[in-house]
Amino acid sequence: MNLNEIPYNSVDIYKNIIKDYLNDKAYLSKFYSNYPRISSFKDQIDIKNEQNIDRNILVSELLAQYHTIEFKKKVHNNILSLKKKNTFTVCSGHQLSLLTGPVYYIYKILNTISICEKLNIKYKNYNFVPIFWMHTEDHDFEEINNFNFNNSKIKWDNCYESFSVTGKMSTKSLEEVVDELKLSDKNYSSIIDLLKNFYLKNNNLAESTRKILNYLFSDYGLIIIDPNSKTLKQQIIHLIESDIINNSSKDIINKTTDLLGYSQAFARDINFFYLHDNLRSRIIKEGNKYKVINTEFIFSEQEIKKKINESPTSFSPNVLLRPLYQELILPNLAVVGGQNEILYWLQLKQLFKTHSISFPILFLRNSAFILNTRFNNYIDNLKLSYLDFFEDENHIFKKFISFNNKNDSHLSCYRTKIVKLYNEFKLFYDDKDIIRSINFELKKNLRSFDNFERKILKYQKNNFEKDLNRIKKIKYLFFPDNKPQERVINFFQLCSEDNVNQKKIIYLLKNELDPFNNNLKIILIDN
């Protein structure tokens, strides 16, 4: 495997505000604590040490969550080490995407592991462990019920009738998906085995997700946490009350958002959902009553306070309050996320300060494009660069044809000459009507020239049909369905059917990705 890089400033993968963050622009510094560089962690440790973390409760709950699965000694040791005051975490999280969903899910976790490995080398007196926060309470089933495998969309859509808490969904109905895959004329044997082993043998999606992530990453000591826990939520009773009863979050978040000039997530009067059985629904206040939308649940202030204190698991934070929950219970120093995640974290700095919770270092996960070495050789033979494939298809065609057909390479020069000639005409005249007429003729001539150029391009496309088809194929590999590859392909399509190769690919990807370097990675994998 080899690695090449594309500077993040040279392409439009990231939003401008994210580029400003990566470039450490001064105007953003008030919205975060420390910049994501390895030297920042000593200061971050000092900040985190000012916050009281109940490590015993955390360790006890993690051991309880792991009691039904086999896990490596390194995971066990990492969990036990969290009792020690010199152990800290680096955290990433995600929804319970079926079979890990798009491959960026994997990049995010690998970045989290890599940060810990580098920190353990840099800071010998401390211990750093990676942790994955499962979004088990999330209710957006449509975002997680599918994955792409070899240009086919595998979808699970027969189980959502009575569930809005995805972690609780039974995985038994995936048997129908397996049956469909068996009938297909394509080879889905590796995917069928994965679904059988990690989903059909387990009770629900949260359990299945823990087991597949444990299978992939336990060698690196990754700890997987389910936040839908009474033991853990008892620690945030004061946060739940503050938001629901006092509506304390909205104004603080909105003020920060106004200063930031960008809103990724919308703060509400109440930023907690109500959980009941398999239901997750918003809470609103009408008059002096608290109502759960689309249900018959209605509480007085006294009743909802009692509910919060007696049953904190009945309340689930939204995307803006979940970070506070996470950072309150974990000895966490840094968070790894995609650009949208980084953006909603930037809205929260003042809210963290209000609740005396330390604000973590924010790492943008790596973006990467994986290519087979065979296609890399094609790019070399076409005399194109990786950067060319971030342009639209016609731009690539024109560049290739221009480079390979010298008769057409002068077309742009002739276009420039036409513009120059008409501009010289205008120097001889002051009359507005004449200048308007010259401009009109220039536009007419340029339109004719553009039509001529299109005809030439069409003619040359026929001459270079084989090469242009190859360009199309490579472009599709970079941007299938006009989306970055990492948001479409699934990790397991990179691997052969044997688990040795899956672990090998994980190891190689981890070593090629670098969370301290945000340039886009082009990773080449042999057959």
Report the percentage of the chain scoring pLDDT > 70.
94
Look up tokens 């001889």; give the residue: 428
Q: Identify the burial level of 355 via C-beta atoms within 10 angstroms of its C-beta, where 0-12 means exposed, 13-18 middle and 19 or more buried.
A: middle
Whole-number Cα distances in Å, 55 to 59, 75, 264? 6, 16, 32
Q: Are residues 472 and 413 in the same domain?
A: yes
**Binning pLDDT at 50, 70 and 90, where does residue 311 land?**
very high
Q: Identify the burial level of 443 via C-beta atoms within 10 angstroms of its C-beta, where 0-12 means exposed, 13-18 middle and 19 or more buried.
A: exposed
Q: Dump the DSSP string for 422-437.
A: HHHHHTT---HHHHHH
**Binning pLDDT at 50, 70 and 90, where does residue 416 land?**
confident
Q: Are residues 221 and 72 in the same domain?
A: yes
Helix (H, G, I), strand (E, B) or coil at 525: strand
**What H or E segment, with its residue span, contains residue 523?**
strand 520-525
DSSP state of 360: P
**Binning pLDDT at 50, 70 and 90, where does residue 161 land?**
low
Q: Are residues 87 and 17 in the same domain?
A: yes
**pLDDT at site 422:** 84
DSSP state of 146: E
Is residue 269 a part of any domain in this protein?
no
Chosen domain end from 367, 399, 430: 367
Alpha-carbon gap, residue 434 to 437, rounded angstroms: 5
Structural domain range at position 472: 384-481
Buried b (16+ CB within 10 A) or exposed e, 359-388: bbbbbbbbbbbbbeeeebebbeebebebeb
Q: Which two tokens stand for residue 8?
A: 């993040």
Cβ atoms of residues 520 and 8 within 8 Å? yes
Q: Are residues 133 and 37 in the same domain?
A: yes
**pLDDT at site 385:** 93
Q: Are residues 226 and 341 in the same domain?
A: yes
Alpha-carbon gap, residue 420 to 234, rounded angstroms: 74
Averaged pLDDT for residues 405-410: 57
Look up tokens 């959980």; give the residue: 275
Chain length of the chain: 527
**pLDDT at site 438:** 85
Whole-number Cα distances in Å, 157 to 67, 143, 523? 30, 11, 33
CA angle 305, 308, 312 (to 5 degrees): 175
Q: Are residues 350 and 473 in the same domain?
A: no
Is residue 317 a part of any domain in this protein?
no
Residue 429, Cβ neighbours under 10 Å: how many? 12
Alpha-carbon gap, residue 201 to 328, rounded angstroms: 34
Largest CA distance in the chain: 88
DSSP state of 30: G
Averaged pLDDT for residues 72-98: 97
Q: What is the pLDDT of residues 257-295, one digit of tens each?
A: 999 999 999 999 999 999 998 889 999 999 999 999 989
**pLDDT at site 496:** 67
Is residue 423 a part of any domain in this protein?
yes
Alpha-carbon gap, residue 59 to 69, rounded angstroms: 16
Is residue 5 a part of any domain in this protein?
no
Alpha-carbon gap, residue 329 to 320, rounded angstroms: 16
**pLDDT at site 445:** 86
Q: Are residues 17 and 138 in the same domain?
A: yes
Range list of β-strands (E), 318-429: 332-337, 361-364, 368-372
Alpha-carbon gap, residue 466 to 110, rounded angstroms: 38
Alpha-carbon gap, residue 423 to 441, rounded angstroms: 11
Is residue 249 a part of any domain in this protein?
no
Is residue 225 a part of any domain in this protein?
yes
Its pTM stands at 0.89
pLDDT at 212 exceeding the cut of 80 = yes
Helix (H, G, I), strand (E, B) or coil at 460: helix
Compute φ and ψ for 286, nearest 5 degrees: -125, 115
DSSP state of 53: -
**pLDDT at site 156:** 92
Is residue 434 a part of any domain in this protein?
yes
Q: Are residues 358 and 414 in the same domain?
A: no
Alpha-carbon gap, residue 380 to 297, rounded angstroms: 64
**pLDDT at site 431:** 84
DSSP state of 299: E
**What H or E segment, with its residue span, contains residue 266?**
none
Provide the number of structural domains found in the chain. Answer: 2
Q: Are residues 344 and 390 in the same domain?
A: no
Cβ atoms of residues 312 and 233 within 8 Å? yes
Look up tokens 């080879």; give the residue: 187
Look up tokens 């009474």; give the residue: 230
The CATH number covering residue 221 comes to 3.40.50
Q: What is the pLDDT of residues 191-202, one digit of tens each?
A: 999 999 999 999
Q: Are residues 106 and 228 in the same domain?
A: yes
Q: Are residues 229 and 118 in the same domain?
A: yes
Alpha-carbon gap, residue 343 to 261, rounded angstroms: 11
Q: Are residues 86 and 222 in the same domain?
A: yes
pLDDT at 449 exceeding the cut of 90 = no
Averaged pLDDT for residues 135-145: 90
Cβ atoms of residues 167 and 204 within 8 Å? yes
Averaged pLDDT for residues 368-382: 91
Q: What is the pLDDT of residues 170-181, one digit of tens each?
A: 999 899 999 999
Residues 6+ apart with CB under 8 A from 72: 218, 219, 221
**pLDDT at site 455:** 77
Is residue 329 a part of any domain in this protein?
yes
